[in-house]
């Protein structure tokens, strides 16, 4: 998880030419278009600089603007004060390039409630958009993105109540609630704890090799992790966390020497993460060619 980049969306951008207008698009918001009351709402934003001039963050500039509409929040703007918040620069006191000419950047896992304190605080339909302010073009805004805040009941309410905040022992919770929509974040966090740092799509084979030597992970995969992940993905295929969990699932099938399972997961990833899907398919081909693979 790259928390340093997660607040890049707040940076005020300065463009020295009006030849092309930079844009921001909210590509994902909430989990399958909703969020449970009291749970973090994640957003992914794609930034595009179509011009031929770099976009820079000015030294000491105020940060950018999110807008939220919802029950009691009609048209309210949200600002996050601070010096270069979320730019990831070591020295926010000087101007630095934020997005180069012709470049685009997908910033993932922005928590809406963190950039708009008090947002999504009531059940009902909300709308969110982001504005980019530049010296040359003024403020341009994305289209509104809708999200429904749901007051949880039944199994979801139980899962939220039992959510082990601050704990590193997630196994019992996931065995009980791994099929609910609120379990995706924790299931992925459990994978991160067990698997170590993310390796990237080009390192999938190395990731599998490392996991094959982790006896605790192997035992959990055989006893509950694989089934829990499969169950979650079957019930929530459009979950915000689905792609990350699919990669983890592919690693489980690979360690167990199941090329059919690996290929099935890779096909599901082809639309959202084509590079990772290609790397995973390569591992499946290796499994088929060699039969039992010693990792």
239-249 per-position pLDDT tens digit: 999 999 999 99
In a domain, 295, yes or no: no
Q: Is 156 within 8 Å of 180 (Cβ atoms)?
A: yes
Domain check: are 158 and 146 in the same one?
A: no
In a domain, 2, yes or no: no
Non-local CB neighbours of 110 within 8 Å, separated by 6+ positions: 6, 7, 9, 42, 43, 44, 45
Domain check: are 131 and 162 in the same one?
A: no
**CATH code for the domain in which residue 44 is found:** 2.60.40.2970
Domain check: are 95 and 158 in the same one?
A: no
Domain check: are 182 and 126 in the same one?
A: no
Distance between CA atoms of 249 and 188, rounded to whole angstroms? 11
In a domain, 178, yes or no: yes
- Give the pLDDT confidence of 167-206 residue by residue, as tens digits: 667 888 998 999 998 999 999 988 888 776 655 545 888 8
Count of domains forming the chain: 2
Buried b (16+ CB within 10 A) or exposed e, 223-262: eebbebbbebbeebeebbbbbbbbbbbbbbbbbebbbebb
In a domain, 3, yes or no: no
Structural domain including 139 reads 8-150
- pLDDT digit string (tens) for the chain, length 295 residues: 444 434 444 444 333 444 578 888 898 899 988 999 989 999 988 888 888 877 776 654 544 578 889 998 866 667 544 333 343 444 556 666 777 889 888 888 888 888 888 899 999 999 998 877 666 666 778 899 999 999 999 999 999 999 887 766 788 899 899 999 899 999 998 888 877 665 554 588 888 888 888 898 999 999 999 999 999 999 999 899 999 999 999 999 999 999 999 999 999 999 888 988 999 999 999 888 876 666 6
Domain check: are 193 and 278 in the same one?
A: yes
**CATH code for the domain in which residue 171 is found:** 1.25.40
Domain check: are 136 and 21 in the same one?
A: yes
Domain check: are 166 and 129 in the same one?
A: no
């Amino acid at each position: 998880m790259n928390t340093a980049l997660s607040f890049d969306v707040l940076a005020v951008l300065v463009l020295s030419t009006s030849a092309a207008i930079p844009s921001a698009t909210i590509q994902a918001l909430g989990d399958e278009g909703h969020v449970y009351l009291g749970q973090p709402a994640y957003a992914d934003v794609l930034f595009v600089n179509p011009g031929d001039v770099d976009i820079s963050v000015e030294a000491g500039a105020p940060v950018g603007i999110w807008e939220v509409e919802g029950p009691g929040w009609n048209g309210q703007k949200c600002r996050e004060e601070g010096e270069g918040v979320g730019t990831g620069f070591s020295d926010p006191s000087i101007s630095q390039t934020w997005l180069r000419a012709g470049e685009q950047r997908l910033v993932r896992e922005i928590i809406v409630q963190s950039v708009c304190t008090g947002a999504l605080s009531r059940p009902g339909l909300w709308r969110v958009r982001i504005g980019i302010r530049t010296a040359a073009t003024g403020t341009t805004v994305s289209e509104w993105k809708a999200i429904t805040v749901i007051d949880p009941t039944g199994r979801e309410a139980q899962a939220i109540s039992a959510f082990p905040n601050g704990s590193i022992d997630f196994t019992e919770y996931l065995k009980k609630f791994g099929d609910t929509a609120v379990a995706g974040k924790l299931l992925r966090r459990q994978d991160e704890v067990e698997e170590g740092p993310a390796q990237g799509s080009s390192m999938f084979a190395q990731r599998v090799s490392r996991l094959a030597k982790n006896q605790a992970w192997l035992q959990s995969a055989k006893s509950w992790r694989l089934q829990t992940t499969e169950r979650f993905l079957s019930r929530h295929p459009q979950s915000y966390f689905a792609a990350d969990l699919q990669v983890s699932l592919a690693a489980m099938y690979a360690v167990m020497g199941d090329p059919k399972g690996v290929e099935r997961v890779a096909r599901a990833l082809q639309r959202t993460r084509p590079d990772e899907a290609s790397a995973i398919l390569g591992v499946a081909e290796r499994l088929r060619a060699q039969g039992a693979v010693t990792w």
